[in-house]
Amino acid sequence: MGRKWPFCQLFWQEQAKINKSKQGRRVHPDLIRFCLILATKSSIAYEQLRNTGLLELLGWRTLFNQRSVIRSSPGFLDSTIQELKEKSRS
């Protein structure tokens, strides 16, 4: 549970920054990942959240550009498998 709270704090800090400046904004990489995951899970839900104005989420063009920068491949990272093994031992 301790790992979730820092992300929540980061998320709301980034939301405050986005609302202040619409031009030339820089977005934290974790917020980009969050938006990519959310849009991947449900593009309709992502679009509806964006349209409500409740949250300032990245636009589709930005997500597309970011997705093309991130290298992905099928399978799991070795570091992820190691972490899962360690957590299952405890």
Q: What is the pLDDT along the chain (90 residues), one digit of tens a residue?
A: 445 567 677 777 777 776 555 566 677 777 888 888 888 889 999 999 889 877 778 888 888 887 766 666 677 778 778 888 888 886
* C-alpha to C-alpha distance for 43 and 51, rounded to whole angstroms: 12
Cα 23 to Cα 17, 19, 20, 26, 61: the distances in Å are 11, 10, 9, 9, 15
Residue pointed to by tokens 């609302």: 19
Number of domains in the chain: 1
Task: State the sign of the Cα–Cα–Cα–Cα dihedral 70, 68, 41, 48.
Answer: positive
pTM equals 0.56
Cα 7 to Cα 34, 43, 62, 85: the distances in Å are 10, 22, 21, 24
For residue 62, the enclosing domain spans: 4-19+26-89
